[in-house]
Structures are given as structure tokens and as C-alpha cells.
């Protein structure tokens, strides 16, 4: 009985390395350092690519004109490519009414279903023009409403890296890989994802990441593994507990 339970825990433990804000304009020097580190440990991250970046903050970084070739090269190395919004421009406020209750501004929340599906379709076309099929999405600033999920499904996307929990879970026909912490943090068990914003990283941030990878590389999983997990009843119970606790904490703050 004990053996069985420990096997379940082991199978349900791992961290997915998710990079946010991958776009033609980015901190390429830092990205190259990360690539060397990931190669050293044979880690396959998931990259959140913004297909049509219009975010001025990101525009300040140097541009690579062969961006899509670089993405394709990463994909052939079995790095996973996900769609991270369409333009990364926030034009609506959620007033904490977004699906996960994070609050803050959003590219998708509050827009009509028609507007949201148009954004997703335009984004997918850019990927397709560059021979990249997208099956996974995560929204800028973690902000969704029910129309976002409806539009994603209509476009054939049934996988999202966001949400509360200690294991991959399915809701509304969509598989969610939970993303809990802003900082790098390895839970003793559970399936997790990082959110890495390397564009604003200093050398010190990189060193923290390097130490994290050196310490935890055996627990790093790829996207396919994270999606292959089906949370059992035990994990579902924990997911509900975590969701309620975090929602309460975020309401207090």
C-alpha cells in the first residue's frame, strides 16, 4: 500500500520550465545563456511565443529578423512551442473577475467571444505560416474568461499552462498544467510550471536560475509528460484545497 502511494507521488512530481514573452524583440544575450544551460542538462522547456508582439516594453529589446527560423530550430530540438497571447497588449481591466481571480489587466478577458476568437485565429495563422502547429496556449498576465476557453477550443486548442493545483487537471474539456509561483520554487511533490521572464533578468537572476536547475534538473519534465498526467481523486482533492487557499490569500492582499 505504502509502495503504491509513493509511486503515485513520484509519477505526479515534476517541474516544467516555461519561458514567457518569447518574441522577435527580446533579451537575446540572456536567452543564449539559458540555452547553453538547458542543453547541458538536456532540458526541454516550453516557450510562450507572442506571434504578433506589439508590447512597447518588449520592443525596447534588440530584434532578431530570423526569429521564426530560431523558433523552428528550437522546435526541432524538441522544445515545446506554445502561443502566449496574440499582441501582448493589455486593453481591458479584469477587476479580479478573471477566471483565476488574479486581477490586473488583460489582452483577452472581457472581450466578446468574436473578438477573442479573431485574436487567436490571427495568431495561429502566423504560426502556421511558419510551419508551426499550436496545441497549447497561455494568456498574458494569466487572465481568461469563459469566452477565452470557448474560443481556444473552437480553434483546436485544448491545453493551457495556468491555473491552481498540484497536478495536471481537466476542466471544461481543457487540460491545465498548474502555474503557481512567480519565483522559482520546487514543491516536494506535484506537477508544476515555472513562469520565467528572462527579458528583465540581471546576471544575479541568471545565477539563481542556474543553481535551481543544477539542484532540480532530475525533476524537470517536458510538456508532453506534464500533459500525460491524469490527476487521480487524491490529487483532485488537493487541487481544490490549493485553489481555495490561494484565492483566499489573493483576496486578503
Contact footprint for Zn ion (CB under 5 A): 20-21, 140
Residue 12 or 194: the one with the smaller Cβ distance to Zn ion is 194
Cβ within 8 Å of residue 86, ≥6 positions away: 50, 51, 52, 107, 119, 120, 122, 123
Q: Closest distance between Zn ion and the C-beta of residue 112, in Å?
A: 22
Residue 141 or 239: the one with the smaller Cβ distance to Zn ion is 141
Q: Closest distance between Zn ion and the C-beta of residue 58, in Å?
A: 9
Q: Closest distance between Zn ion and the C-beta of residue 159, in Å?
A: 17
Any idea of the CA torsion for 181, 187, 191, 195, to the nearest 10 degrees?
30
Do the beta carbons of residue 48 and residue 84 sit within 8 Å? yes
Our CA angle for 118, 120, 126, nearest 5°, is: 105
Residue 90 or 212: the one with the smaller Cβ distance to Zn ion is 90
Residue 148 or 167: the one with the smaller Cβ distance to Zn ion is 148
Q: How far apart are CA 49 and CA 29, in angstroms?
A: 17
Q: Closest distance between Zn ion and the C-beta of residue 144, in Å?
A: 14
Q: How far apart are CA 108 and CA 85, in angstroms?
A: 8
Amino acid at each position: 500500500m505504502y509502495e503504491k502511494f509513493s509511486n503515485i507521488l513520484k509519477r505526479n512530481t515534476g517541474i516544467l520550465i516555461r519561458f514567457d514573452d518569447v518574441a522577435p524583440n527580446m533579451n537575446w544575450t540572456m536567452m543564449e545563456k539559458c540555452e547553453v544551460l538547458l542543453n547541458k542538462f538536456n532540458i526541454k522547456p516550453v516557450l510562450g511565443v507572442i506571434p504578433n508582439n506589439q508590447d512597447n516594453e518588449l520592443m525596447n529589446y534588440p530584434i532578431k529578423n530570423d526569429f521564426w527560423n530560431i523558433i523552428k530550430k528550437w522546435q526541432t530540438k524538441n522544445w515545446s512551442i506554445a502561443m502566449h497571447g496574440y499582441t501582448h497588449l493589455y486593453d481591458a481591466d479584469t477587476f479580479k473577475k478573471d477566471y483565476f481571480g488574479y486581477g490586473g489587466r488583460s489582452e483577452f478577458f472581457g472581450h466578446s467571444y468574436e473578438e477573442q476568437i479573431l485574436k487567436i485565429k490571427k495568431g495561429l495563422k502566423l504560426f502556421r505560416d511558419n510551419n508551426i502547429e499550436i496545441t497549447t496556449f497561455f494568456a498574458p498576465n494569466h487572465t481568461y474568461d469563459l469566452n477565452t476557453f470557448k474560443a481556444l477550443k473552437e480553434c483546436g486548442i485544448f491545453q493551457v499552462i495556468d491555473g491552481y493545483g498540484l497536478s495536471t487537471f481537466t476542466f471544461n474539456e481543457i487540460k491545465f498544467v498548474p502555474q503557481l509561483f512567480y519565483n522559482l520554487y520546487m514543491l516536494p511533490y506535484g506537477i508544476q510550471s515555472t513562469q520565467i521572464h528572462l527579458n528583465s533578468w540581471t546576471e544575479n537572476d541568471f545565477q539563481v536560475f542556474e543553481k535551481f536547475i543544477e539542484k532540480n534538473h532530475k525533476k524537470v519534465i517536458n510538456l508532453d509528460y506534464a500533459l500525460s498526467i491524469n490527476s487521480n481523486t487524491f490529487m483532485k482533492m488537493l487541487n481544490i484545497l490549493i485553489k481555495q487557499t490561494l484565492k483566499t490569500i489573493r483576496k486578503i492582499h
